[in-house]
Structure 1
Amino acid sequence: MTAQPPVPGLEAAFGVEVRVGLPADHGVTRAGHRRVVPIIGGGIYGGLDAEILPGGADWQRIRPDGGCEIDARYSAVTPDGELLYLRAEGLRIPAPEAAAALLRGEQPGPEQFYFRTTVSFEASSGRWAHLERSLFVASGLREADTVRYTAYRVT
C-alpha cells in the first residue's frame, strides 16, 4: 500500500484587529483598479500578543465583479520588543446582493462577503521563528475603520 499524505486541519492561532485610514483610490492602472489603504495601528491577541505599528498598507486591486484582491503588509512589535513583519494576501468578494447594495450606497453585513486570507510572518528573533514555519489562513470582516480576522494554523 502506498502511504497517503496527511489531511490538513486547522487550529485557532490568534486574532488580529487592524485600524485603517481612508483609502487612496489610484484609479485604473496597468495592473487594474488600484486602491491603497493605510494601516494606522491595531493589535494581535490570543496566542500571539503584539501591537501593530502605523506605516503599513493594503495594496488592493479592485476586480470588475466588485471584489477586492488583498495584499496587506505591516509590522508589529511584541511586548518583549521584537519586530514581526506580516503579510496578508487574499480575497474579499461580495455576494451578488451585497454588490448591488454597495452600488445603492448601502453597507451590507459581513456575512455577505467571502473574506479569506493567508498570513505569513518574518521574524529576526529565534523566539518567534516558529511563526515562519507554519501556514496560516484567516477569515475576516471589514468595518468602517477596522479589519478584523481570526487566523488558523494549518496542521
Structure 2
Amino acid sequence: MTVDPPVPSLEYAFEVVADLGPLEDHGMTRAGHRRIIPVVGGSIRGAFTGKILRGGADWQTVRPDGSIEIDGRYSARADDGSLLYIRARGVRSGDPAVLEALLGGADVDPAAYYFRAALTLESADHPEFESSVYVASYVREANRVRYVAYRVS
C-alpha cells in the first residue's frame, strides 16, 4: 500500500522587528558583491517574546541581477532571560527599480518584491524550536526589517 506524505501547512509562530545599522558595502569579493548590515536591536513577539540583541548582522551577497542572498544571524533574549539564536537564509528579489528603491530607503509595498527565508532556531531553554522547520515572510523598511515566522506542520 502506497501512502502519500502529509501536506504541510503553516502555523503562526512569532513576529520579529529587527532594527538595522548602516549598510557596510564590502564591494566585489571572491564570493560576489558582499554587503553586511548590522542588527542593532529590535523585538520578538509570539511563541518567544523578548528583545533582539545588538551584535548580529545580515551577511548579504548581491547577485548580478540585483537580487540578494540573505544570511542573517542574531540572538534574542526572552523576558525570562532565556536565549534564542536565529539564522535566516533566504532571497530578496524583484524588479531592479523596486530593489533600488528599497536600497535607497523608500517605502515600497511588500507585494512589489519577493522577500522570504528559511529559519533555523537554537535554544537550550526552548528545545521545541529545534525540532521544527520555520519559514518567514519579510517587509523591508528604511532602518529595519519586519517578518512573520511560521512553523511548517
Q: How well do the aligned residues superpose, as a CA RMSD in angstroms?
A: 2.0
Q: Deviations over 1:51-86 (max 9, x none)?
A: 110000000001111111100000111111111111
Q: TM-score, normalised by structure 2?
A: 0.92
In structure 2, the gaps of 5 or more residues are: none
The correspondence of residues 119-134 of structure 1 with structure 2, limited to 5 A, is 119-125=119-125, 128-134=126-132
After the TM superposition, which segments of 4 or more aligned residues of structure 1 sit over 6 Å from their partners? 102-106
Percent identity, aligned pairs only, is 52
Shift of residue 109, structure 1, vs aligned partner: 2.8
Which runs of 5 or more residues in structure 1 are unaligned? none
Which residue in the other structure is 1:36 paired with?
A: 36
**Aligned pair count?**
153
**1:104 Cα offset (Å):** 9.5
The aligned runs of 1:95-134 (5 Å cut-off) are 95-99=95-99, 108-125=108-125, 128-134=126-132
Change (3 A) 1:15 1:107: closer
The 3-state SS of whatever aligns with 1:137 is strand
Q: Alpha-carbon deviation of 1:103?
A: 9.2
Query: TM-score normalized by structure 1?
Result: 0.91
Report the counterpart of residue 138 of structure 2 in structure 1.
140
Q: Residues of 2 paired with 1:148 and 1:86: CA distance?
A: 14
SS in 2 for 1:132: helix
**58 and 101 in structure 1: CA distance in 2 versus 1, 3 angstrom threshold:** closer
Q: 1:99 to 1:81 in 2, by over 3 A?
A: closer
